[in-house]
Amino acid sequence: MRTWFEPEEAEEFEAAKDLLIRRCVTWAEEHGRPVDGLLLSAAVDARHESRDGRLAYWDGARIRFFLLRYVPYKVTASRQELDLAPEVLCTYLRYLDVTGLRDPRGATLAEAEEIIVGARAEYAAALDDPTLRGVATFWAHTALGQGVDLTVPGAFERFKRDLDAGRVPYDEQVLDKIMQNRFVNGGISEERAFPQPPVSLPPASELMEAAARSQTVQRLITLAAWAGKDGRALTDAGNLRVADALEVSALLGTGEDQLRVRSATDLPQLNLLLAWAKKLRLTRTSKGRLFRVAKAAPLLRDPQELWRRAFEVLPELGRVVTVPAATWQPEPILAEIFDEILPDVLNSMYGLDEMPVARLEETVWLACQEYFVLDQEEEGLRDLWRREAARDLGRMFEVLSDLRAVELTRGPADPLYASDLDHDDQPLPPDAVERLRTALAEPDLPLVRLTPLGVRGVRDRLLAEGRDAPLIGELATAPPAELLGVLAQHYPPQDAVAELQGWLAWPGHDVEMLLQAVRDCPFRTRVGAMLRVLADALPERRLLHDLRRDPVLGPAVWTQLIDAGEMKPGSLSERENLLMGAENFLSVLELAGPEGLVEQLKRMGGGDAYEFVEAILASGHPDVVGLRELRELVAEPLRKTTRHHPLRLVPTRPPGARGRRKKRKH
């Protein structure tokens, strides 16, 4: 049971969604919980369509988005049914919790339920506001208001014909507002973001010390103190006087105090620090003077928070980070897109060691050309502007280095950065490839990498954007089942080992707790994935061989050992063969759904398909929930459509049972 799918894995996702909803509805009915299939489907879709796509990850932002934006915008149902959404979401989150599917990096069940309760009034108000609907939802609700039964085939098409003929009244003002919202805000759809690799960070105390040592942080504190509560006089143009600018430059240690200038605006480093301080509200101007902001005192006493805020607002300072190449070009090309380029560059560096600056120069220049179209007369300036963009990128890295967000070094490039230059899908144009090939062959070229502070800053931004950015050690106290589920889906093997070892080092944690979580898992495909994580992380234990006689895990263990060539099928007894066959049939039921399994059984066994299922039902397999579904959703349809024959064969592995494991993208 996977809870994350690539956008193009449409069939796999739909099968998992059907399984999840089917099981959740059954569980809810057994436990007297409110449930509704349409609203459950909406909850699953909302997370799959999100930036990170994690079906089982719910925090305050995602809960509120689902209730206050997604349901009003996308879900068409009667008001009575829509009113159930908060309770149904609670049911769904409880089911994720009791089955071990919940992503432990989100809200706990108690936290989630408190958030849902707190959003009830806002949810009712959102349903009352028709302007929050999408265009399709608006017309669907209009049809419902006209008494159209949308479940009847062809009903909506007839409604549309009446609408086109002008026979349907509707609120034009509401529709205009919906169209305006769509034009301004672009709806509620999110583009799936590329998953980020797990990263490690030093202890919080080390990060705090690093922030305090940041040259930029020290300079911002010094600048605010220099401005003081009494302030410093400004010129009529709103700039520092030259003498004051040179004085504070010497105090800040920028080296610009030795320059001969006519205006304070000729000191780029000081201009950047002044703009930065203003953006952070450390300083303000009033009545021709520059003052320290009194309310900024707590921030100035907290270097770590000051660093975080300074890193957060840096993308907004492109026009003072970049510098015009000449007086005839007042706006550097990188300045206009700095707020997009800076995060993209930092994302490219995230989770990697030193990167050649030359590689980033070419990708940044490629991005610049997507934003700006050069006229034929300007083609001669292309190389000039490319060099200007490279220069401003270097300036950006210098600023980040002063902030202590990146580290600049020199040396040879890792061969990795030249390995894809000959690929057919290389996005860089031929001239860029040749420049890179030459640059990367140099033994001593500029390199850049994120510092631990920079890694934390980028990760904080990724999380704020709703992206998945795993951190080694964050699962140290997670429940065993949830830990293994996240490792199986979101961690490369080496990082999964590190995370699992950290979990086992926590007081009171041991391998038996993990094994019990696998035994308790009600999904066969998830059991297999969890066992693989444990087997890969604990090779010295020969874990799978030790579990061959486990009464619950045995069938899943035999399957994996045979797949790995470490066990011969002939070594199993007749009963064990039957149990392993049951394991694989139940896995196919989860992956392909009842209809898919029925079709496979018919193709494989013909008229004997029902007998195959009868044998599986009598196997004694420990998956009670799966066997019940097999009986109700597979055996009964087969019984009604196939002839009975004496049982001749019980397969140990139905076709397609193993499936294909997708390679993890790094």
With beta carbons less than 8 A apart as the criterion, state whether 471 and 198 touch: yes
pLDDT digits (tens, 9 = 90+) for 414-425: 998 888 888 877
CA pair distance 150, 168, nearest whole angstrom? 16
With beta carbons less than 8 A apart as the criterion, state whether 581 and 617 touch: no
Q: How would you classify the pairing of strands 232-233 and 445-450?
A: unpaired
pLDDT digits (tens, 9 = 90+) for 367-399: 988 887 666 556 667 888 888 899 999 999 999
Please give the full DSSP string across 643-657, using - where no structure is assigned. ---------SS-TTS
pLDDT at 298: 96
CA pair distance 109, 59, nearest whole angstrom? 10
pLDDT at 421: 86
Scanning the structure block, which residue is given the tokens 């080992």?
Answer: 497
Domain boundaries, the chain: 10-134, 204-313, 335-462, 480-567
Q: How far is CA 253 from the centre of its chain?
A: 41
Residues β-bridged to residue 448: 355, 408
Q: How far is CA 502 from the centre of its chain?
A: 23
Q: Identify the CA nearest to 611 among candidates 573, 639, 637.
A: 639
pLDDT digits (tens, 9 = 90+) for 208-258: 999 999 999 999 999 999 999 999 999 999 999 999 999 999 999 999 998
CA pair distance 267, 257, nearest whole angstrom? 9
How buried is 392 (Cβ within 10 angstroms: 0-12 exposed, 13-18 middle, 19+ buried)?
Answer: buried
pLDDT digits (tens, 9 = 90+) for 297-324: 999 999 999 999 999 999 999 999 987 6
CA pair distance 429, 427, nearest whole angstrom? 7
pLDDT digits (tens, 9 = 90+) for 51-105: 999 999 999 999 999 999 999 999 999 999 999 999 999 999 999 999 999 999 9
CA pair distance 363, 361, nearest whole angstrom? 6
Confidence of residue 499 (pLDDT cuts 50, 70, 90): very high
pLDDT digits (tens, 9 = 90+) for 395-415: 999 999 999 999 999 999 999
Q: What's the average model confidence in pLDDT over 624-650?
A: 75
pLDDT digits (tens, 9 = 90+) for 521-565: 999 999 999 999 999 888 767 889 999 999 999 999 999 999 988
For residue 663, pLDDT over 60 is answered with no
Would you call 282 helix, strand, or coil by DSSP? coil
Please give the full DSSP string across 302-356, using - where no structure is assigned. -HHHHHHHHHHHGGGGHHHHS--SSTT--S-TTGGGHHHHHHHHHHHHTT-S-EE
With beta carbons less than 8 A apart as the criterion, state whether 629 and 523 touch: no
> Which tokens in the block code for residue 32?
């007297």
pLDDT at 654: 42
Task: Write down the H helix ranges in 491-523.
Answer: 493-504, 511-520
Would you call 166 helix, strand, or coil by DSSP? coil
| CATH architecture observed for domain 204-313 | Orthogonal Bundle (1.10)
Would you call 322 helix, strand, or coil by DSSP? coil
pLDDT at 324: 62
Would you call 355 helix, strand, or coil by DSSP? strand
CA pair distance 240, 243, nearest whole angstrom? 8
pLDDT at 643: 55
pLDDT digits (tens, 9 = 90+) for 137-174: 998 888 888 888 888 888 888 888 988 888 888 888 99
CA pair distance 220, 456, nearest whole angstrom? 21
Q: Is the pTM of this model over 0.85?
A: yes
